Amino acid sequence: MSSAFQPQLQTQTRSYNPARRSRFNARLVRESLTTRFAMCVCSVLLFVLLVAGLIVFILWLSLRPHRPRFYLSSFSVPAVSQPSAGLLNSPISFNVTDRNSNRNIGIYYDVVYGSVYYNDQVVASGPVLNPFFQPPKNTTLVLGDLTGTAPAAGDALAAQMSGDAASGRVEFRLELKSVIRFQVKAWDTHHHTLHVECDMAVGSDGNLLASYKNEKCSIYF
């Protein structure tokens, strides 16, 4: 029986190849190193992204960017008290407070233009404030003095305005427009076109009704 099993044992012994086994082990080592290197690179990239995101979040918390806030303090159209007189060449004045509540962000303003609307028709417009820089935590007064351009006496719109004045309430809309940019530390942002809208009403004397005093205006870019 020992002679019967001898060829089989010899065949099994000859099938073992040390060189092939060595190449297989080397391939396993290379694949393991490649996997470890890829995992290491991914870990480094994730760490960099995490640190960058954390820095951006900390900067955002420290700067706390806020839009400027506008409040209507006063508005006067004396010609309203004159029946059927219209607004042509009549003075229109207003006072709006512009608040920059940011702690570390200043705002550059180009020329500020003001327009007054009655029934969606422009009745006065023009520049109201020259270019200026508003520091952080600052309140700027926008004092507007415009001259009425429409409607004229005898105009249908003037007659409607006179009727509203007789009822004790004439509604107007004040719009301010400017191009602004924010100053964050040592660099400036790109330009934004700022639009401010203040809806209000005056009484028969042409002065702002008390319910609209210090009313917050809506803004959009």
Q: What is the pLDDT of residue 24?
A: 54
Q: Is the pLDDT of residue 3 over 60?
A: no
pLDDT digits 0-9 by tens, 53-96: 877 766 665 666 789 999 999 999 999 988 667 898 999 999 99
Q: What is the pLDDT of residues 169-221, one digit of tens each?
A: 999 999 999 999 988 776 667 889 999 999 999 999 999 999 999 999 999 98
pLDDT tens-digit readout, 112-126: 999 999 999 999 999
What is the CATH number that goes with domain 69-220?
A: 2.60.40
pLDDT score recorded for residue 9 = 47
Other Cβ atoms closer than 10 A to 4: 7
- Phi/psi at 48 (5° precision): -65, -45
Q: Give 25's Cβ-side CA count (13 Å radius).
A: 6
Q: Is the pLDDT of residue 107 over 90?
A: yes
Pinpoint the alpha helices (H) of the chain: 2-15, 18-63, 156-166
Q: Model-level pTM?
A: 0.73
pLDDT grade for 14, boundaries at 50, 70 and 90: low
User: Which whole number is the average pLDDT over 100-104?
Assistant: 89
Write down the pLDDT at residue 38. Answer: 76
**Which residue is listed with tokens 């609209």?**
212
Does position 152 have pLDDT exceeding 90, yes or no?
Answer: no
| Gap between the Cα atoms of 66 and 180, Å rounded | 13
Higher pLDDT, 154 or 79: 79
- What ranges do the domains of the chain cover? 8-63, 69-220
The chain-wide mean pLDDT, for the chain, equals 85
